[in-house]
Amino acid sequence: MYTTREEARNRLVNTIVAYDGRPVRVVDVGGRDGGLLTLTVFHWPFDGTRAETLPIGDPLFGSFVTPRLGFANYFERGNAHTVWCHRTPARRMQQGLVSGNFAGTAIGVRQQRFTLEHLQSTDAFREMIAGEYPVFETALEMLVPDSSIAVDRNFALLQSPEGYVTIYHRRDPLGLVMRGVIYLREDRQYARELLLEADRLPNDIQNL
């Protein structure tokens, strides 16, 4: 736990952290060294309309971890593909999420890249943090050629220009989806347990 304002400012100000599982941006540190320190935070969409001052020891902050990232169904700026978001291993002083330790890459042929500034105030970012995704059957119906959509933080469906549907685990293509059945590639059999453990995917998994 931080005990000085300077340390807390260096590590937390202008970063996004999880508060009760939801993303907040820390904008200031108040209080006094050796006493009660407070954090002023902006709740999503981080525009200042929902500001709150909270004690730094509030247990809902936990250990100031980065909010849970994964696929973000961001379909703006001409993008038709879900975006894989993750924290990079860059060594930085800040404990929370900042542009320098964030990477967002759309799956698909072009692999368009997105910054934290592109995504942080979008519905797609909020839905990713909250784990809100379309169910598998609905996602299949939403696909069109050369598009993709996530059904889970870690799993997405991509339809090729020719109409074939591939299931991805993060940025790794695992196999095909045909008539609601997942067909795993021979060299991706290790992913079978991951698929079976995912609540939002069908249990009918065959070998390709």
pLDDT at 156 over 90: yes
> Which has more confidence, 162 or 35?
162
Lookup: tokens for 8: 């807390």
Do 58 and 101 touch, CB atoms closer than 8 A?
no
If we measure between CA atoms, which residue out of 75, 65, 84, 72 comes closest to residue 12? 65
User: How many domains would you assign to the chain?
Assistant: 2
The whole-angstrom separation of Cα 79 and Cα 48 is 28
Identify the band that residue 52 occupies on the pLDDT scale cut at 50, 70 and 90: very high
Considering 27, 43, 61, which residue would you say is the last residue of a domain? Answer: 61
Task: Let me know if residue 36 belongs to a domain.
Answer: yes
If we measure between CA atoms, which residue out of 16, 52, 38, 35 comes closest to residue 128? 16
The range of the structural domain enclosing residue 35 comes to 5-61
pLDDT at 92 over 80: no
The whole-angstrom separation of Cα 186 and Cα 176 is 12
Question: What confidence score (pLDDT) does residue 33 get?
Answer: 74
Do 177 and 157 touch, CB atoms closer than 8 A?
yes
Task: Let me know if residue 10 belongs to a domain.
Answer: yes
Task: Let me know if residue 39 belongs to a domain.
Answer: yes
Task: Let me know if residue 50 belongs to a domain.
Answer: yes
- Average pLDDT (172-178) is 95
Considering 40, 61, 82, which residue would you say is the last residue of a domain? Answer: 61
Give the Å distances, CA to CA, from 161 to 15, 42, 158.
39, 41, 10
Identify the band that residue 131 occupies on the pLDDT scale cut at 50, 70 and 90: very high
Question: What confidence score (pLDDT) does residue 107 get?
Answer: 92
Task: Let me know if residue 121 belongs to a domain.
Answer: no
Task: Let me know if residue 82 belongs to a domain.
Answer: no
| Percent of the chain surpassing pLDDT 70 | 98
| Span of 90-104, 144-158, 165-179 with lowest mean pLDDT | 90-104
pLDDT at 1 over 80: no
Considering 44, 61, 78, which residue would you say is the last residue of a domain? Answer: 61
Task: Let me know if residue 108 belongs to a domain.
Answer: no
- Average pLDDT (135-144) is 94
Task: Let me know if residue 37 belongs to a domain.
Answer: yes
Q: Which amino acid is at 194?
A: L
If we measure between CA atoms, which residue out of 45, 50, 37 comes closest to residue 11? 37
